[in-house]
Amino acid sequence: MGRFVLRRLLQAVPTVFGILVLTFILTRLSPSDPLDFLIGGVSDMTPEQREALRETLGLNQPLPLQFVDWLGHAIRLDFGKSYFYQRPAAQLIFERIPNSLQLSLAALVLSLVVGVPLGVLAALKRGGKVDHAIRLFSVLGHAIPAFWFGLLVVLIAGVQFRVLPIGSMNTLGREGDLIDRLWHLVGPVLTLALAGIANYPRYLRTEVLEILGQDYVRTARSKGLREPMVIVGHVVKNALLPIVTLLGGLLTLFISGAVVIEQVFTWPGLGRLLFEATLQKDYPVVQASVLAASGLLVLSYILRDIAYAWVDPRIRFR
């Protein structure tokens, strides 16, 4: 197991490094100058003062030297100080990652808890009204943009009927209240999980229908096993293989989609921090955020491979 995980980590290094190089180059080649944001309305700064500030920030060096210097510090988790917050970028990242993980993991659990039973039910009720309703829901859920659905949740459930909170992580003055935190999670988690809830039934329905016709299922029924035991122990377990394969891509969708969803619901997560830092040309925070997001994606794919091997005993770690 240890060698398997180590091999997956080593295979991911070139990908993460390529992402870092592209992110660094794209942020440095942006048309705007970060000094304009830093000095704000200070218009009487002389060219010499601007150049001194640029030298202090290390922005006057050639791009290769800037990247090598930044990479050397990044290995030690030193991404520099945020231009806007005037705090270490790593500290901001570590504060926001738990908030984003709450959304992504809760959305993953919700999509599995709702999507998997819907897929199995659609297969067992093939051709019936329930099957048609679930398939229609899958098509609509897949077609609806997440940000548009999130805005509907905010406008209808938050503003019109006021049954859900419309922003932040907690009600003011109730920061330590777990129930209040869970209540604030409902809107963004439901929005983020919509894609998974819609996609899982489509894949699982096809897989369950195929497995229902296999010989080992007929053998299990001929032995007198009850139908729930046949469905859960033989059909669903084997049908989960393609679902596990989709986990990595789904987590990628959750992490990338969090950038938009966190903006809609003003959720103080990593995605919102990255969005704001990009607008502010806050290079240290942008680069640190991309590195953190890349690390989470690599970890999600490694966990997916481990889960796949656990579900399918024919796979061995070599």
Q: Band the pLDDT of 34: cuts 50, 70, 90.
A: low
What backbone phi and psi angles, to 5 degrees, belong to 59?
-90, -5
Judge whether 143 lies within some domain. Answer: yes
Q: Is residue 171 in some structural domain?
A: yes
Residue 86 has pLDDT above 80, yes or no: yes
Q: Find the CATH number of the domain harbouring 303.
A: 1.10.3720.10
pLDDT at 43: 55
Cα separation, 86 vs 274, whole angstroms:
16
- Give the range of the structural domain holding residue 266, as residue numbers without chain letter: 96-311
Q: What is the mean pLDDT of the chain?
A: 82
- How far apart are alpha carbons 9 and 89 in whole angstroms? 24
Of the candidate ranges 61-75, 127-141, 245-259, the one whose mean pLDDT is the lowest: 245-259
Is pLDDT above 90 for 176? no
**What per-residue confidence (pLDDT) applies to 31?**
66
Q: Give per-residue pLDDT as tens, 209-268.
A: 999 888 888 888 888 888 888 888 888 878 877 777 777 666 676 777 778 888 889 888
pLDDT at 33 over 70: no
Q: What is the pLDDT of residue 315?
A: 60
CB 104 within 8 A of CB 191: no
Rounded to 5°, the CA angle 120-124-126 comes to 115
pLDDT digits (tens, 9 = 90+) for 145-172: 888 898 999 999 888 888 888 778 888 7
Q: pLDDT value at position 36?
A: 65
Predicted pLDDT of residue 9: 74
- pLDDT exceeds cutoff 90 at 199: no
CB of 244 closer than 8 Å to CB of 112: no
In a domain, 214, yes or no: yes
| E-only strand ranges, 143-283 | none
Q: Confirm whether 245 is domain-assigned.
A: yes
pLDDT at 147: 84
pLDDT value for 135: 93
71 is a domain residue: no
Per-residue pLDDT tens over the stretch 287-316: 888 888 888 877 777 777 777 767 666 665
pLDDT of residue 91: 93
Q: Would you give the distance in Å from CA 202 to the centre of its chain?
A: 21
Q: Kindly state whether residue 156 falls inside one of the protein's structural domains.
A: yes
Query: How many C-beta atoms surround the C-beta of residue 194 within 10 A?
Result: 23
- Phi/psi of residue 165, each to 5°? -70, 150
**Does 236 reside within a domain?**
yes
pLDDT at 206 over 60: yes
Which pLDDT band holds residue 61 (cuts at 50, 70, 90)? confident
Q: What share of the chain is helix, strand, coil (3-state, %, to 5)?
A: 75, 0, 25
| Domain count across the chain | 1
Task: Look up residue 298 and give its two tokens.
Answer: 């690599």
CA–CA separation, 261 vs 272, rounded Å? 8
Whole-model pTM: value is 0.81
pLDDT tens digits along 112-131: 899 989 999 999 999 999 99
Q: Is residue 24 part of a domain?
A: no
